[in-house]
Amino acid sequence: TSYHKVLEENRILYNQVQDLKGAIRVYCRVKPFSPGQSNAQSTVDYIGEDGNIMIVNPQKQGKEARKVFSFNKVFPTNVTQEQIYADTQPLVRSVLDGYNVCIFAYGQTGSGKTYTMSGPDLMSEETWGVNYRALRDLFHISKERAEAIKYEVGVQMIEIYNEQVRDLLVSDGSNRRLDIRNNSQLNGLNVPDASLVPVSCTQDVLDLMRIGQKNRAVGATALNERSSRSHSVLTVHVRGKDLVSNSILKGCLHLVDLAGSERVDKSEAVGERLKEAQHINKSLSALGDVISALAQKSPHIPYRNSKLTQVLQDSLGGHAKTLMFVHINPEVNALGETISTLKFAERVACIELGAAQSNK
Ligand code: ADP
């Protein structure tokens, strides 16, 4: 029967999810050079199938010039959006079984974060990013399970800019600041006043994304591209009612396009730009600190140090699963940022190993 089919699928999925449980997965994606840059020198010397990437500094010689970083996966530059999603799918699907999942895009501005999460063009399904593919997949699986479980899916979309939370799904473009309420009863609904819009097909999602993009552009100027200085969080809330046992399960998926991780030259940044840079630094390091504290099983997890970690609180740690896409730009003039991005990512990725070793 279809109920048994669902159970069997759940068992397979459960096994896949067990593989991922507890671990913070880090996938590295290298932006391809554009066709006009075919002769450009690359700082990426080698990408291994084993998750290693070698970075070369053209200004140094010998051993000094090369550094290897290791992650769960490193994608070659010609990876398709479909292949990226294939490696993300087990996590996304686990949301339908009541797990909370966080997927981040980290990297300097221009390294491909938005390309991975949203894609370059809403109109072209082939280049859709993780966000749309995840929702399409959730709709597809919930339809397949419809005889056994009745699912409802709703989305919220917020922006965190200078430590203020804003609703991106308001139709009137109002700029209301929202509060965060961390409460275990809420199960991922940490910004309860942000619009929660029911969706049941990809067209619904596309319509909402357009509203979100329009609202996000408010406040951006040509000089000050706001989207690179704010975190955008798309949260998918799933509620499933088991039609046999009548039990209810809830899961949520946060899809986060982080602010650009580049360090700002303190001597140059002043005024608004300096304030933005300080807020970004603070929230990205707070995210790193929370992830390390979780992996070290520290009794105190410093969620309260930034709005970002407060919003994501019940989806980081516990039974929640985390995936970080780390993006790098292989151009030689981005080398400094590439190294600091990879160091941050390695800190996030290695912690679990360190914790496991110390438990032995
Ligand atoms: P970010 O969000 O990190 O600021 P974007 O995603 O906007 O960066 O990418 C910067 C530019 O590079 C965009 O024009 C984007 O289309 C292009 N780009 C990024 N990643 C890829 C990729 N994997 N393949 C082709 N073009 C890409």
110 is in an annotated binding site: yes
Taking alpha carbons only, the member of 146, 14, 3 closest to residue 91 is 14
Predicted local distance difference test score (pLDDT) of residue 253: 95
Residue with the two structure tokens 């290695």: 350
The residue whose CB lies within 8 Å of the most ligand 1 atoms, and thus the one to mutate among 27, 31, 328, is 31
Residue 343 CA, ligand 1 centroid: distance in Å: 21
pTM of the model: 0.89
Where would I find the H helices in the chain?
Answer: 2-20, 81-86, 89-94, 113-117, 130-144, 202-217, 271-295, 307-311, 335-359
For 309, the domain range is 2-359
Distance between CA atoms of residues 165 and 310, nearest Å = 11
Over the stretch 189-243, which tens digit does the pLDDT of each residue have?
A: 788 888 999 999 999 999 998 888 888 766 555 445 677 889 999 999 999 999 9
Predicted local distance difference test score (pLDDT) of residue 22: 52
Residue 261 CA, ligand 1 centroid: distance in Å: 15
- pLDDT tier at 7 (50, 70, 90 boundaries)? low
Asked whether residue 267 carries a pLDDT value surpassing 80, the answer given is no
What mean pLDDT comes out for the span 322-347? 94
Over the stretch 252-263, which tens digit does the pLDDT of each residue have?
A: 999 999 999 988
Residue 109 CA, ligand 1 centroid: distance in Å: 9
Give me 259's structure tokens.
Answer: 């602010």
108 is in an annotated binding site: yes
What mean pLDDT comes out for the span 34-63? 88
DSSP 49-109: TTSEEEEE-TTS-GGGGEEEEE-SEEE-TT--HHHHHHTTHHHHHHGGGT-EEEEEEEEST
Predicted local distance difference test score (pLDDT) of residue 358: 34
Q: Which residues line ligand 1 (CB under 6 A)?
A: 31-32, 107, 109-115, 120, 228, 327
Distance between CA atoms of residues 311 and 290, nearest Å = 13
* Number of domains present in the structure of the chain: 1
Residue 142 CB neighbour total at 10 angstroms: 18
- pLDDT tier at 295 (50, 70, 90 boundaries)? confident
Over the stretch 138-191, which tens digit does the pLDDT of each residue have?
A: 999 999 999 999 999 999 999 999 999 999 998 776 666 777 776 655 566 788
Give me 264's structure tokens.
Answer: 């700002």
- In a 3-state reduction of DSSP, which class is residue 124? coil
- Which residues have a Cβ under 8 Å from the Cβ of 116 and sit 6 or more positions away? 29, 81, 84, 105, 129, 130, 325, 327
Over the stretch 101-134, which tens digit does the pLDDT of each residue have?
A: 999 999 999 999 999 999 998 889 999 999 999 9
Q: Which atom of ligand 1 is nearest to the CA of 120?
A: 16
Q: What is the CATH number of the domain that holds 263?
A: 3.40.850.10
114 is in an annotated binding site: yes
Q: Which of 61-65, 136-140, 282-286 has the lowest mean pLDDT?
A: 61-65
Predicted local distance difference test score (pLDDT) of residue 168: 92
Residue 32 CA, ligand 1 centroid: distance in Å: 9
